Amino acid sequence: MLFRIISVSLAALTLAFTVSSQIQAADDNRIVAKVNGIEITHIDIVEAHKLLPEQYRKVPFDQIFPTLLDSVIDTYLTSADGRSKGVDKSAAFKKEMERIQRQLLQRNVINEAITRIVTDAALQDAYAQMKTQSTGNEEIHARHILVKEEKVALAVIVELDKGKDFAELAKTKSTGPSGPTGGDLGYFGRGQMVPAFEKAAFDLDKGMYTTTPVKTQFGYHVIKQEDRRAKAPPAFEEVEQRLRTQLSQAAGAQYMGELRKAAKIEKFLPEPAKTPAPKKKAN
């Protein structure tokens, strides 16, 4: 089964494999096989491995190497046989080759445009802009005591008014998972909590607690704001791949937009199918 899938995958991508092997520098040119005098190198097998479906790329390379080698050998044999029979001269083959060539050209040209635009400097500029946009965002450190009934929450507030420690009360009164740690929720920003809880927590001043219970779908909360601070932007390393993806998509779209703007494009779309009139019921 594995051999069949690998063979089909390689056969479907024979042209891509051949072009890729030619344009990439050989990291390992040692010969691993010969097919009618044609040399197959280790790097050819490495490139074939890259064309496999993801689940098969996870198989250790040394383990899958013999099967890959056989598949590459089969590719060379069948392609040579096809040429000897003139398959490569048929109109259908030439048409398919033209389609594949267009796709390869598109991929390479777009990749060149992305490489030209998505530079290290562009990534740093995007990161600086992201940090600027995040300025002013804040997060708070809060604790809460969660109970099922409003009267219990009111009783908790009375105890707090008498000077009881919030964290200690949370350990004995709160039914939430944060109760054992004194109701500590750590730091969070806007959009991370349910709306009613978020509003009450952010409306508090540092060191203050809610004087009326806050109702959510989880029950009744008494909330204390421990601290408030500006939200620190993520490190460049944490967002580099996301920024690279965003810039690459924008660069590709920009490139295609410029081509379309300069081109004369005519579309001849089929007319939408008409909805058949409902049949009349017989009297």
- Strand, coil or helix: 233: coil
Paired with 186 in beta bridges are: none
Question: How would you label 172-195 residue by residue, b for 16+ Cβ within 10 Å and e otherwise?
Answer: ebbebebbeebbebebbeeeebee
Token readout for 3 is 């051999």
In the prediction, which pLDDT does 135 show?
A: 59
CB neighbours of 79 closer than 8 A, spacing ≥ 6?
A: 14
In the prediction, which pLDDT does 38 show?
A: 94
In the prediction, which pLDDT does 282 show?
A: 60
Confidence (pTM): 0.56
CB 165 within 8 A of CB 208: no
Count the neighbouring beta carbons within 10 Å of the beta carbon of residue 171.
16
CB 152 within 8 A of CB 220: yes
In the prediction, which pLDDT does 281 show?
A: 65
Q: Identify the burial level of 220 via C-beta atoms within 10 angstroms of its C-beta, where 0-12 means exposed, 13-18 middle and 19 or more buried.
A: buried
> Could you say which of 3.40.50.300, 3.10.50.40, 3.40.50.460, 1.20.1050.10 is the CATH number of the domain covering 138-230?
3.10.50.40
CB 185 within 8 A of CB 198: no
CB neighbours of 261 closer than 8 A, spacing ≥ 6?
A: none
Token readout for 259 is 């081509």
> Which of 48, 53, 78 has its CA nearest to residue 2?
53
* CA 186 – CA 169 distance, rounded (Å): 17
In the prediction, which pLDDT does 18 show?
A: 40
* CA 33 – CA 31 distance, rounded (Å): 6
Chain Cα centroid distance, residue 152:
45
> Which of 145, 238, 231 has its CA nearest to residue 187?
231
**HSE value, Cβ hemisphere, 13 Å, CA-based, for 22:** 6
| Low-confidence residues of the chain: pLDDT under 70 | 1-27, 135-136, 277, 280-283
In the prediction, which pLDDT does 269 show?
A: 87
How confident is the model over 133-179, as pLDDT tens digits? 775 678 999 999 999 999 999 999 999 999 999 999 999 999 999 99
Residue span(s) of the chain under CATH 3.10.50.40 come to 138-230
Which residue's entry shows tokens 């000077």? Answer: 163
Tell me the chain's radius of gyration from C-alpha atoms.
32
In the prediction, which pLDDT does 234 show?
A: 86
Checking DSSP bridges between strand 184-189 and strand 31-35, what pairing results, if any?
unpaired
